């Protein structure tokens, strides 16, 4: 049973517009959430994270929103750029768990068209 779900396998957005990637989770014991970006044949790179005690974290063009009551988080990219085209993984960590012991979603492939 998937504990971290990314229900959209792909998303296509026009350059300059907003990209919204969604992630749902089932386990209320998750205390930290991360987004990773991955290009083909490369390792994921850390993008942005949020603690469960917050509802928003912003870093430049990237903002992550957390809705604990809905067990939902989203990544907003504004404005989207062609270089943002990649697979985005949502990940969650159990309370007290090691930061590397993450539960990953299946990823959403973002395509930003010029």
Partner 1 sequence: DGGITQSPKYLFRKEGQNVTLSCEQNLNHDAMYWYRQDPGQGLRLIYYSQIVNDFQKGDIAEGYSVSREKKESFPLTVTSAQKNPTAFYLCASSRNTEAFFGQGTRLTVV
9 contacts partner 1 (rule: CB under 8 A): yes
Q: Footprint of partner 1 on residues 71-90 (CB under 8 A)? A: 89
Number of residues that bind partner 1 (CB under 8 A): 24
Task: Map tokens 């300059």 to a residue.
Answer: 16
* Residues whose CB falls within 8 Å of the CB of residue 41, separated by 6 or more in sequence, listed in order: none
CA atoms 57, 62, 66, 67: torsion sign: positive
14 or 51: CB nearest partner 1: 51
Residue 98 binds partner 1, judged by CB under 8 A: yes
Asked if 49 interacts with partner 1 (CB under 8 A), we say yes
């Amino acid at each position: 049973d998937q504990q971290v779900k990314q229900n959209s396998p792909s998303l296509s957005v026009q350059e300059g517009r907003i990209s919204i990637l969604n992630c749902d989770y089932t386990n209320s014991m998750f205390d930290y959430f991360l987004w990773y970006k991955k290009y083909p044949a490369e390792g994921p790179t850390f993008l942005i994270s949020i603690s469960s005690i917050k509802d928003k974290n912003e870093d430049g063009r990237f903002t992550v929103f957390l809705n604990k009551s809905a067990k939902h988080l989203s990544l907003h990219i504004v404005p989207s750029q062609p270089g943002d085209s990649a697979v985005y993984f949502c990940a969650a960590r159990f309370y007290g768990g090691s930061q590397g012991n993450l539960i990953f979603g299946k990823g959403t492939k973002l395509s930003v068209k010029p």
